[in-house]
Amino acid sequence: MSNSLNRRNWIKSSALMAGGVAFLTGTMNKLAAMPVIGKMRAGNTMLAEEAAIMQAPAGLKARLMANENPFGPSAAAKKAIIDSLDTGYQYTFASMFTMRGKIATYEGVKGTNILMSSGSSPLLQAAAMYYSKGGKSIITADPSYDDLPTQAEHFDGKWVKVPLAADYKLDLDAMEAKVDGNTGLVYICNPNNPTATIVDTEKLKGFCERVSKKTVVLVDEAYIDYLPDPKASSMMDCIKAGHNVIIARTFSKLYGFAGLRFGYMVGQPDTLKELGMYTPAWACLSSTALAAALASYRETDYLADALKKTNASKEFLYETLKKENYTYIPSSANFVMFQLKMDGKKFSEEMNKRGVALRDWKLNGQDWCRISIGRMDEMEAFAAAFKEIS
C-alpha cells in the first residue's frame, strides 16, 4: 500500500511540474463527465489541409499545401529519436522537466510559465473550451487560422470576425473596438495564416498591454521563427511584465516537427493551471518527440540553414509570379498568398493533375492561392505546372 501511495504521489508531482494539471484525479473525473468529445472538431483550415493531403496524387512532385518545413527535422533530432528508442518504456516526466527548463532559460521566464503538449493544437483546443464557456465570444481577424475559434463555436462560444486592414494585416484597432463584457479571448495569429503578414511589434505590444486588462489575449507565434529577429518580435515581454497574455509556439514549422508533434504555451502560472485542466498535456508527449525537441531546440546552425533555403525558394516563387504578371502578398512566413485569374477550385485541380498540391482560398470575395514554400525542386515543379495554366 505504501509503495502504491508513493508512486501515486510521484506521478502527481511530476505531472504538476510538467504543467499537466489535468492528470489529477478530481479533474479527470470532471472531464469524463463533460460531453466534450462529441463536440471536438478540427478547424476549417485544418480540415481543408487534410482534404488537400488526402486528394494529392500518388506521383506528387510538390507538396505545397500544409506549410510544412521540407528540410527538417535536423540530423541531431533524427539521431536523438533513434537513441531514445531503448528507453521508450520509461515515462517522460524527467525529459519534460528538462525541456521545460531549456525553454524557460532561453525565454527568461519560470518553469511555471510553460505548458507543453504534442504540438500547439491541443493547447489551442484547451483555450477554445475554457474561454468560450457560458457563450463567451472569441475575437479573431478574418481570415486567420481558425482552429481555435471553430472549436469554440462547437462549445457554444461566439466567433467575432474582424476583417483585415487594406494591407492584409490584422486590424488591431478594429479588433480592440470589438472587445466587450462578453469577450472571453482575443486571438492574434502573428505572422498571420493565411496571409503571412505581420503587424508592427510595438503596436502589438501596446495592444496586448491595453486589451489584456479587459480580457485574455492569446498570440499564436507558430511562424515567428521565420522572422529576422524572432525574439525581438515576440510578445514574451508582456508575460514577463505580468500581463494577461498567452503565447502559443509549435515546432511544426521551422523545426520540421509537423508529424513528430511538440508545442508549448507561455503564460501566467494561474492561467496555465486553468488551461491544464482541459488538456492532459503530460500524456500527449512521446519519448521520441521529446528527445528530438531537446536535441534541436535553438539549434542555431540548422535553423539558419533551413531559413536560408526557405527564403531562396520564396524568392524563386516571387520571380515566377512576377514573370506571369501575378500579384502576391509579401510573406513573413513559409507560405505566400497570390491572387488567381481563374476559379480557385479549378486552379487547384489542374495543378493537382500536374503533381502539385496547394491550397485555393477565398479572400475579399476573390480567388487566391496559398502556396507553401518547398524545396527548390518542388518550386521548380510548381513553376513548370503554373506556366501551363496561368
* HEC secondary structure over 293-336: HHHHCCCHHHHHHHHHHHHHHHHHHHHHHHHCCCCEECCCCCEE
From the centroid of its chain, how far is CA 129? 17
- Distance (Å, rounded) from C-alpha 100 to C-alpha 94? 10
Cell of 220: 499564436
Q: Is the dihedral of CA 106, 107, 111, 114 positive or negative?
A: negative
What percent of the chain stands above pLDDT 70? Answer: 85
Cross-strand partners of 183: 137
Task: For 41-100, give the DSSP string.
Answer: ---HHHHHHHHHHHHS-TT-SEE-SS---TT-S-HHHHHHHHHHGGGTTS-SHHHHHHHH
Cis preceding linkage at 191, omega within 30: yes
Choose among 53, 50, 46: nearest CA to 151.
46
Assign 390 a pLDDT band (cuts: 50, 70, 90). confident
Per-residue CA distances from 51 to 28, 57, 152, 210, 215 (Å):
33, 12, 22, 39, 35
Q: What is the DSSP secondary structure assignment for residue 179, as one 8-state letter?
A: -
In 87-200, which ranges are continuous DSSP H helix? 93-107, 121-131, 147-154, 172-177
So what's the pLDDT on residue 330? 98
The pTM score is: 0.88
So what's the pLDDT on residue 15? 41
So what's the pLDDT on residue 57? 62
C-alpha angle 276/132/201, rounded to 5°? 80
Assign 26 a pLDDT band (cuts: 50, 70, 90). very low
pLDDT digits 0-9 by tens, 83-99 = 999 999 999 999 999 99
Average of per-residue pLDDT values in the chain: 89
pLDDT digits 0-9 by tens, 157-181 = 999 999 999 999 999 999 999 999 9
Give the three-state DSSP class for 207. helix
Give the three-state DSSP class for 156. coil
Range with the poorest average pLDDT among 29-43, 108-122, 248-262: 29-43
Choose among 118, 130, 124: nearest CA to 36.
130
So what's the pLDDT on residue 59? 79
Position 120 pLDDT exceeds 70: yes
Q: Give me Rg for the CA atoms of the chain.
A: 21
